[in-house]
Structure 1
Amino acid sequence: MKAVVQRAKDASVHADGQITGKIANGFVVLLGVTHEDTIEDVNYLVNKIVHLRVFEDEFNKMNLSLKDVNGSILSISQFTLYGDTRKGRRPNFMKAAKPDEAKYMYDRFNKALREQGIDVETGKFGAMMDVTFTNVGPVTLIIDSRENLDK
C-alpha cells in the first residue's frame, strides 16, 4: 500500500459536478492499493500518517502531528500510484489491486483513520475527480507499507 501525504491548509474534491469532500487543515492522502495488501498494511499506514510530526510548533519547527493540530484528512483512492512506467510510454497498472479489492482496503483505511479520532473526507471511489488544495511548505511524503513491513 502506498500513500502520498501532502500537508494542506485547505483541500476539496469534486466528482460528478459536486463537492464530495472538503477539509480546512490537515493532509491530502492519495492512497494506492496493490494485490498483496492486508489489514497490517492499513494499520501501518494509519499509525504512521496520524503521528507524522510535520506541523509547526510555536517555534516553527515541524514537531506536531495531525492529532496535535486537530487536523483532518482528505482521502483519495489513487490506483495510478502503482503505475509502472519502466517500459514504453503507456503505464502498466498490473500491480494495482482490482477495483473490488481496492475499494475494500480503501474503506478499511478510512475507517481505521476515523477510529483514531481523525475527521476523514473522501472522494468518490472509481470516479474521475478534481482535487484542489494548497500544499503548505510544501510538505509531501511518500510512504510505502511494503518497504517497512517486509523488513
Structure 2
Amino acid sequence: MNKVIIFGNSGSGKSTLACALAKRHQLSHLDLDTIAWQASNPPTRLPLEQSKLHIQSFLDKYTNWVIEGCYADLLALVAPFAEEAIFLNLPVSECVDNAKRRPWEPHKYPDKQAQDANLPMLIDWIGQYTTREDTFSLSAHERLYRDVKATKMMFKSNVSARVLLDNMTS
C-alpha cells in the first residue's frame, strides 16, 4: 500500500482505518476534514480551489500516503493517483453507533464537551446519507467507487473492516 483513498459516511471508521494503515505502512495521512472547512460558525466549506491547493501541496510533499474523508469532490481530485480505494459502505446504524463511541477529535473540536454537543446534529446528518444527493452522499460515493481506476475494496460492516486491520497487525 503506497497511495490509498478511504471514503464513506461519517462514522464509518475512515479515520481509524487510515491511522492504522499509515502506521503499519509508514504512510503520510491526510484527513480531508482538516482542509475542507473555513474557520467559521456555522462551518462553511472552503472554495474547492483552495482545498485543491492544499491537496496538491500534500501530494507534492509526500510520495506514500493515505487520504480519507467523505468528500467525493475532493477525493475525485486524488483518485487518479491512488493505487487502492477503500469504500467503507457500512449501514447507517453502524455509523451512528460508531459516532456515539467516537473519541475526542482535537483537530475538530476544542474539547470533548463541544464534540458531544454536536452529536445530535451529526447523528441526524449521518442518517441522511442514503437520501442526500450531495458530495457526502451514498450516491456520490458509489459513483466514485465505480469510476476509480485503483484496486478497490468495499467493506459493509465494522466486522469486515476490523478483519482487514487484524490481518495487517498479525
Shorter chain as denominator, the TM-score bin is 0.3 to 0.5
Q: TM-score w.r.t. structure 2 length?
A: 0.34
Q: TM-score w.r.t. structure 1 length?
A: 0.37
Considering fraction of residues, name the structure with more strand: 1
* Greater RCO structure (CA 8 Å; 6+ sep): 1
Considering fraction of residues, name the structure with more helix: 2
